[in-house]
Amino acid sequence: MKSKDFFKNKKLMLATWGCGDKDCFQRRDWVPLFEKMFSKLVIFAPRTYYYRYGKEALNKEFLRILESEKPDYLLFSPGFYGQFDIETLVKIKELSPLTKTIIEFGDDDWKFDDWARYLAIFFDYIITSKKEIDIYKKDKIKNVFFLHGINPNFFKPMNLKKKYDVSFIGKPIADRYEYVKFLKENGINIKIFGAGWQNYPDLKEIYVGVLYDEDYPKVINQSKINLNFSKGPHKDGNPKQLKGRTLEVSACASFLLNEYTDRNIEFINNKKEINFWNKEELLKKINYYLEHEKEREKIAKELYQYMVKNLSWEHLFLKFFKKIEKDEIQKLRLPEINKKIITLSEKDFGLPFEEIKNKLKNVDYITFSKGDCKISSYRNYLQAYSLYITKKQISCCDYYINSPGFGDYMISMIKEAFYSLSDKDFYKVLNVNQLMVIKDFFLKNFDNFKELFLGRQTKLLTEKNTVFVSFPLVGIKKVPKIDYKNMTKFFHMCFIDVLFSLFYQKKIIDYHLLSFFLLFLRRKFVREYLINYLKDTKAISNILGSF
């Protein structure tokens, strides 16, 4: 049965972050497929709508369209920085109870622990590029599907002349610079493509530039050997990730050398001759396969045949939707967390320890309230859930920094700060309102918590005892006193997003804009960031491109 016949009476709503951007694979690969597959495809482009009209309008319009269309399926994928409210996710089933909801995660190799595992509980089905789906099952999350595919109409053999011996397409994250430099110094004729390499003057002669979307498969086809590095964006490069590049190169019937990770598909991993573990092994294999063209082409052909037969998006999605079509409609049933939570304020910390201990007699978890703080209605639930499923002692969420008049203008990225900053700088960034803690741990470490509450540095959070929840569940007004460089690394400057929406709506003389002008005058780092941002033409064009 053809896909268009199987789903001829079905409607799909596609609301993935990049589905409105012409250069995003969700628009390029999925939209034509779903238009063919379903009787009606409703496209809601969150990224476009967010930059045009702002967060509040994004959430309202998404729910309005959902309620109006009441699709059979919703395929959803949000942005990273809290653009969708948790309250919006809860309302999906309220407004369209017969819709089967699906959430797609493309980065949960490194965002599962603090992000994906929490979003997953609001949806019926999970599509993930994380090979180890058992990690979801440990959280008692069901209906998880590993889908990682390619569009063979875009990534395909082009019969182009091989003009590059070795090429790499991608950013210089983790240890990629060290690898490329090593190959160059050992006489390999390598060319590199992608943003960021212009910052390495010693690689100037081998850096070609940033590729346009349509040029990407051309360069793959024009390369005798294409490289893939598997380490992720974190400072130490771990965990390694399944990269789409391995499938894309293979679908072009081009030769691949891949940095080994057990997270890759088995067909790639079983081809031991194309995998490398270190610089020396990579160098050896490059020299060998540059000399053995027939072997190179034979392996490339085998990879191509496998990808086109088994991993085309059409094949994967047809199989997926046929499977879930048979399932009954589900209600939203969030995991029950029967824990008593109490909030301690500055007044409580002035009480004798025994009095505090008595106050916590029947309590499970503790949160804190210091200063003027805004709390999400789902803060207690999500942080209590994080402690319950991880069995850790401290839960730490992200926070907004807001300003009267302008509203939320920055979001902390506390997990990244924890793993990258010195203890001294990290505790400058940490705000006690972010924390939820198990009672016994709190009582055992009462003096340390009291110090933290008073704004003094104390080493309480460790990798072993802390779980991070990367959602801005609290809002504060106090700005951490850290240097500008760290401010830009560990905070998302969402005031830029608000400014884009105001200018798009031509609200040149607007209360929010006037409030931002006051913020601009008061905060030196806001001035510096905005000035530097306006100099970054690529960053601006990326946002404007989604308009």
Task: Pull the structure tokens for residue 299.
Answer: 């392996």
Helix (H) or strand (E) holding 324: helix 313-325
Scan for tokens 């960031």, then name that residue.
529
What is the spatial distance between Cα 179 and Cα 458, in angstroms, rounded to a whole number? 39
Q: Which residues contact 497 (CB under 8 A, 6 or more apart)?
A: 50, 51, 54, 55
Per residue in 516-541, pLDDT tens? 888 888 889 999 999 888 887 666 66
Scan for tokens 């010693």, then name that residue.
202
Which one has a higher pLDDT value, 163 or 235? 163
- Nearest Cα to Cα of residue 193 among 151, 160, 226: 226
Per residue in 107-148, pLDDT tens? 777 789 999 999 999 999 999 988 888 899 999 999 999 999
Q: Which residues contact 242 (CB under 8 A, 6 or more apart)?
A: 109, 129, 130, 131, 148, 230, 261, 263, 264, 265
Residue 1: pLDDT band by 50, 70, 90 thresholds?
A: very low
Q: 270-286 burial, b for 16+ CB within 10 Å, e for fewer?
A: ebeebbbeeeeebbebb
The share of the chain scoring above pLDDT 70, in percent, equals 96
Give residue 54's pLDDT: 93
Give 100's strand partners: 73
Give residue 223's pLDDT: 98
Q: Which domains does the chain have, with CATH numbers?
A: 3-149 (3.40.50.11930), 164-311 (3.40.50.2000), 341-492 (no CATH)
- Nearest Cα to Cα of residue 397 among 342, 476, 458, 478: 476
Residue 369: pLDDT band by 50, 70, 90 thresholds?
A: very high
Mean pLDDT of 167-195: 95
Give residue 508's pLDDT: 76
Residue 458 — φ and ψ, nearest 5°? -150, 135
Per residue in 412-471, pLDDT tens? 999 999 998 999 899 999 999 999 999 999 999 999 999 999 888 888 999 999 999 999
Would you say 438 and 367 are in contact if contact means Cβ atoms under 8 Å apart? no
Provide the mean pLDDT of the chain. Answer: 92
Per residue in 463-505, pLDDT tens? 999 999 999 999 999 888 888 988 888 999 999 999 989 989 9
- Whether 547 shows a pLDDT value over 70: the answer reads no
Pairing of strands 394-403, 466-476: parallel
What is the spatial distance between Cα 497 and Cα 540, in angstroms, rounded to a whole number? 11
Task: Pull the structure tokens for residue 443.
Answer: 């009582």
Give residue 430's pLDDT: 95
